[in-house]
Structures are given as structure tokens and as C-alpha cells.
């Protein structure tokens, strides 16, 4: 009976050691996954920050371009009015002659 219990305990010990080895391997694998996910998250945050900076830069450029466009449209409008006045004056001068 004692030998049977010893054999049983040896088997349980062997099984427990195998379970421990399996669990340690799982821990190593999971730690590797955590490290990869952490690196991926850090890289994603870095890319996100770069994209935000690029977006701010592009928005500044867009505002500058829209301001320039508005300025050019005002200049164009002003020049068109001057041209119309000059045409009207020329027509008036020609009709007086």
C-alpha cells in the first residue's frame, strides 16, 4: 500500500513538474506577446503624434493659402473695377470727340 502511494505521489510530482514547465513556457510566450504589443502600441502612438503634427502643418498651410486666395480675389476685383472705369472713361472721351 505504501509503495502504491509512493508511486502515486511520484506520478503526481512528475505531472506537477510537467504542468509547471508548461506554465513557465506559457509565461515566456505571453511575456513576448506583451512586449510585442507594447512596442506596437508605442509605435502607433508615435505615428499618431506625427500624423497630428502633419495635420496641424497642413491646416496652417491651408489657412495661409485661403488667406492668399482671398487677398488675390480682392485684388482682382479691385483691378476689374479700375479696368471698367478706364473703359468707361475711354468710351466717354471717344464719344466727346
The mean pLDDT value for 6-30 works out to 98
CA angle, 30 as apex, 25 and 33 as ends, to 5°?
130
pTM: 0.61
pLDDT at 97: 82
Residue range 25-73, pLDDT digits in tens = 999 999 999 999 999 999 999 999 999 999 999 999 999 999 999 999 9
Q: Do you know the residue count of the chain?
A: 97
Q: Which residue has the cell 500624423?
A: 51
**Which segments of the chain does DSSP mark as H helices, in order?**
2-96
Q: Which SS3 state, helix, strand or coil, does residue 97 take?
A: coil
The mean pLDDT value for 1-25 works out to 97
Q: Which residue has the cell 495661409?
A: 64
Amino acid at each position: 500500500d505504501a509503495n502504491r502511494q509512493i508511486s502515486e505521489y511520484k506520478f503526481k510530482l512528475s505531472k506537477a513538474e510537467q504542468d509547471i514547465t508548461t506554465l513557465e513556457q506559457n509565461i515566456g510566450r505571453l511575456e513576448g506577446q506583451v512586449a510585442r504589443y507594447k512596442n506596437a502600441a508605442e509605435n502607433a502612438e508615435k505615428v499618431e503624434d506625427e500624423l497630428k503634427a502633419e495635420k496641424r502643418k497642413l491646416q496652417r498651410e491651408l489657412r495661409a493659402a485661403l488667406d492668399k486666395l482671398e487677398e488675390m480675389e480682392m485684388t482682382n476685383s479691385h483691378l476689374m473695377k479700375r479696368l471698367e472705369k478706364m473703359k468707361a472713361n475711354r468710351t466717354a472721351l471717344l464719344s466727346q470727340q
